[in-house]
Amino acid sequence: MTTRIFISSDDYHQTYCQLSSDVAHHLNRVLRLKPKDPVALVIDGEKVQNALITSFSRDVMNIESVSAPVAISISSPTITLFQCLPKQAAFSSLLNHCTQVGVQEFIPIISDRTVVQVKERDYQKKQHRWQEILRLASMQSKQDRLPSIQPIQVAHSCIQNTDWSKYDIKLLPWESYNQKQLSQVIMEQKSDFKAAKNIAIWIGPEGGISESEADQLSRVGFDKCSLGTSILTAQLAAFYTVAQLQFALSAD
């Protein structure tokens, strides 16, 4: 199958592409691409250029175009994950797996029960690493769009300042709520889910969501739901929610 490579228009030229060191390593050492292998270049997330590799030179991939660029047509809803930060290794795993099941935007949250601390001097390095995880996961799973990751926000100010009207569906899986399963919420609002263009999901950290946060989220329109009797880790709760949502959206 054709490998998808996400690049900016600044890095794309008619006969070659400039690659980051991580992407170059992934293409050369992991995927082991070679001359004459086909690639699909996703440029600025707006168009796709099909090409053949002619050679590699460090962080440069030389190419031969085989067709004119084609605009990307997106029909599936945009899923935004508001993720209260778990521990660092768990968050990296979460970014990887949730990208593969179609999350397009990640918003890291510092909540009442968030344990991890992100020091300001380390933030830029972490942000760069997170973006590379999204890029490689998108390439591996052949996504049409490269997800974005926004700056870290504090839960209460995020809830207060976000324009929630742009989200057609807002889901709050919460371990303290057992009146409705996620599957039941989806079935009851199936037509709304099918028609949705933007979906927001809020997932708590290892310690869960506090009562005050849950109340705030309910007031701005989030539907509480349960993921079952088991208490899932933060990264598994996020993956499970998105995967079940995607299954429902793809079903007739």
For the chain, domain boundaries: 3-71, 78-250
pLDDT digit string, tens, across residues 160-185: 999 999 999 999 999 888 889 999 99
Give the chain as a DSSP string. Answer: -PEEEEE-TTTB-SSEEE--HHHHHIIIIIS---TT-EEEEEETTTEEEEEEEEEEETTEEEEEE-S--EE----SPEEEEEEE---HHHHHHHHHHHHHTT--EEEEEE-TT------HHHHHHHHHHHHHHHHHHHHHHT-SS--EEPPPEEHHHHHHHS-GGG-SEEEEE-TT--SSBHHHHHHHTHHHHHH-SEEEEEE--TT---HHHHHHHHHTTPEEEB--SS---HHHHHHHHHHHHHHHHH--
The hierarchical CATH code for the domain 3-71 is 2.40.240.20
Q: What's the pLDDT score for residue 149?
A: 95
Q: What's the pLDDT score for residue 172?
A: 96
Question: Distance (Å, rounded) from C-alpha 52 to C-alpha 39?
Answer: 6
The hierarchical CATH code for the domain 78-250 is 3.40.1280.10
Q: Which residues of the chain have pLDDT under 70?
A: 1, 75, 120, 252
pTM assigned to the model: 0.86
Is there a shared CATH topology between the 3-71 domain and the 78-250 domain?
Answer: no
Q: What's the pLDDT score for residue 95?
A: 96
